[in-house]
Amino acid sequence: ALLDVRPKPLAGRKIIVTSGPTHEPIDPVRYIANRSSGKQGHAIAAALARLGADVRLVSGPVGIADPAEVTTLHVETANEMKDAVEQLLPADAAVFVAAVADWRSETSAGEKIKKVAGKGPPALQMIENPDILAGVGHHRKRPSLVVGFAAETQDLVKNAEAKLAKKGADFIVANDVSHDSGTGSSGVMGGDRNKVRIVSKAGVDEWPEMSKDEVATRLAALIAERLKTIIV
Ligand code: CTP
Ligand code: CA
C-alpha cells in the first residue's frame, strides 16, 4: 500500500464528542427518548479521527455502528453521559452533539408499572437533567475549545447566542429544525443532510445545506484551525 503522507493536523490532540439521544427510564421496560439518530455526532467523531485526533465518543443508544478509529463509550442516561464525559477530562476540545433528554422521571420503578382497573394512568414527576455542556464549559478542567449544538424551531441566532454565553462555549452550531419531519430522510433528526450556522463571539457564519458528512469534515477542519493557534 502507498504510504499516506498527508498532514494530520490533530495528531496528539484528545477530543471528546457526545452523540445520539439519551434514554431516561420510567420502569425496567419503558423510557423517555427523542428522535436523534447520532448520525451528525458520529460523523464528527470520524472526521476528527481522520485528521489524527485521539477521539473519545460518548454515545447514547443509536442504531448505527461505532466510527472507525474512534474509542466509543456507550451510555444510556444523561447522568451516565455526564459522568463518562467528566471522567475523560482533561481534553484539548469537546464537541457536544448529543440530544440529551432535558428531563427525566424523578423515580424509575423497580418493577414494570401495571395497569390497575379504576386507577388511571401513572403521573410522572419530571425533574431536569444536568447540562453536560454547561458543566464542561465552566469546568476547572475546561478544554481550550468547547463546541455545542443548538436545535431550534424559532429565533435561531438569538437562541444560539444565548446558549453560547450561558454554557461557556466557543462555538454553537445552530440547526433550524422547524421543518423537520423527525424520521424523514431530509430532516435533521433522522436524515443525512444538515443546514447550520456557526455562532461565536465573532459573529454568525451561515453554511450552505450539505450532507452531515460534509458538515462534519468542515467542522473538523475549523476545530483543527482553531486548535493550531492554541498552545497548551
Ligand atoms: N446539552 C447538554 N446537556 C443537556 C442539554 C443540552 O450537554 N442536559 C447540550 C447539547 O448537546 C447541545 C447544547 O447543549 O450541544 C444545546 O442543546 P439544546 O437542547 O439545543 O439546548 P438546551 O439548553 O437543552 O435548551 P432547550 O432544549 O430548551 O432549547
Ligand atoms: Ca434541550
Q: Which residues are annotated as a binding site for CTP?
A: 102, 112, 130-133, 149, 163, 167
Tell me the per-residue pLDDT of 139-196, one tens digit each, with 9 for 90 and over: 999 999 999 999 888 999 999 999 999 999 999 999 888 776 555 555 676 788 889 9
Provide the pLDDT for residue 181.
52
Which residue has the least CA distance to atom 14 on ligand 1? 133
C-alpha 210/C-alpha 24 separation (Å) is 32
Q: Tell me the DSSP string of 39-51.
A: HHHHHHHHHHHHT
Q: What is the dihedral of CA 40, 45, 50, 51, to 10 degrees?
A: 110
Which residue has the least CA distance to atom 17 on ligand 1? 150
Alpha helix positions (H), the chain: 39-50, 78-88, 132-137, 156-167, 212-228
C-alpha 164/C-alpha 170 separation (Å) is 7
Cα 30 to chain centroid distance, Å, stands at 23
CB of 164 sitting under 6 A from ligand 1: no
CB of 171 sitting under 6 A from ligand 1: no
Provide the pLDDT for residue 231.
64
CB of 180 sitting under 6 A from ligand 1: no
Per 3-state DSSP, the chain is made up of helix, strand and coil in percentages (nearest 5) of 25, 25, 50
Provide the pLDDT for residue 177.
82
Q: Which position has the grid cell 440530544?
A: 99
- Window from 37-41, 106-110, 188-192, 206-210 with minimum mean pLDDT: 188-192
Q: CA dist 192 to 22, 62, 108, 143, Å?
A: 20, 15, 34, 29
* CA nearest to 70, candidates 216, 205, 179, 186: 216
Q: Please give the share of the chain, as a percent, with pLDDT higher than 90.
A: 84
Provide the pLDDT for residue 178.
76
Query: The complex's ipTM?
Result: 0.99
- Structural domain spans, the chain: 14-105+125-228
Task: Tell me which residues are annotated as active site.
Answer: 34
CB-based contact 15:56 (threshold 8 Å): yes
CB of 40 sitting under 6 A from ligand 1: no
* CA nearest to 29, candidates 132, 112, 146, 89: 112
pLDDT for residue 204 is more than 80: yes
Number of the ligand closest to the Cα of 148? 1
Tell me the per-residue pLDDT of 97-119, one tens digit each, with 9 for 90 and over: 999 999 999 999 999 999 999 99
CATH superfamily of 14-105+125-228: CoaB-like (3.40.50.10300)
230 sits in the region (left: phi over 0; alpha: psi -120 to 50; else beta) called: beta
